[in-house]
Amino acid sequence: MSGIDRALARGAALLKETSETPRLDAELLMAHALGLERDALLLRPPQVAAPAEFDAFIARRALGEPVAYITGRRAFWNIELEVGPGALVPRPDSETLIVAALDHFGKGAPSRILDLGTGPGTLLLAALDQWPRATGIGVDASPEALDYARANATRLGLAQRATFRRGDWANGIAEAFDLVLVNPPYVAEDAELGPGVAEYEPGEALFAGPDGLDDYRRIAPDIARLIAPGGIAAIEIGSDQAEAVTALLAGHGLTARLERDLAGRPRALTAAP
């Protein structure tokens, strides 16, 4: 067993108590310490000693710090995003919204896209990469998150097609869009989260009142007017919120359809007038 293999095994063992994916975390942190992509680490592991930085990265992760904050990046859909403190770490489950939009548009494509709660540009930039002729707007209340979003747009070559603005959901937006992407906070105040989530990630991007529905109540009245003819809204939800959010949308003239993630869990609603 090589020094790299031994270090990975040791790192994964140390992370078992604080991570649901200890081996994956260890591999990502080792790749970062070596300046490699994870695929290269696994396919062509260098025959060298483990870098000293690896143990420091493992120690940070063992305290609950997100891997994405340690490495400064996170893959999402077909792009890679820079992330860090002040910006919510993109989750693979959110890709359900892009899949739902692809199903809706088929061989067509949206022309204008709005991303409410864009964070580091996650959904908007993934959508613009998917549909090369589209343009869009990302809105977030956090200046820190928007700094990441603008930097990501520039790095990905999408800055000419993406506009980011600080705002309070749809307030001040009069345009209608072919695709409206919404990923609001939806965690109830007293909910238990995984290790490190509440301690490191921005609470304003996670929590939404006693039942997790506060921001849906604020957003729902605006959704219908934001959708252009033939368009849809794709809205992320918690796994137990489909019925409640569907009812909120219906109260404002919207018909919603449930979308499930790859694990079969309720993850999003697609809605249209």
What is the average pLDDT across 161-173?
97
Pick the residue with more confidence: 212 or 194?
Answer: 212
Query: Residues 30-55: pLDDT tens digits?
Result: 999 999 999 999 888 888 889 999 99
Sign, Cα dihedral of 225, 226, 230, 233: negative
What is the average pLDDT across 60-68?
96
Fold observed for domain 3-63: Helicase, Ruva Protein; domain 3 (1.10.8)
Are 3-63 and 86-272 in the same CATH fold? no
CB-CB neighbours of 105 under 10 Å: 17
User: Residue 182: pLDDT above 70?
Assistant: yes
| Range in 32-36, 42-46, 153-157, 225-229 the model is least confident about | 42-46
Reported pTM:
0.93
Q: Residue 230 to residues 150, 177, 179, 233, 260: CA-CA distances in angstroms?
A: 29, 10, 9, 11, 22
User: Residue 2: pLDDT above 90?
Assistant: no
CATH number of 86-272: 3.40.50.150
Q: What residue segments make up the domains of the chain, in order of their start?
A: 3-63, 86-272
What is the average pLDDT across 77-98?
97
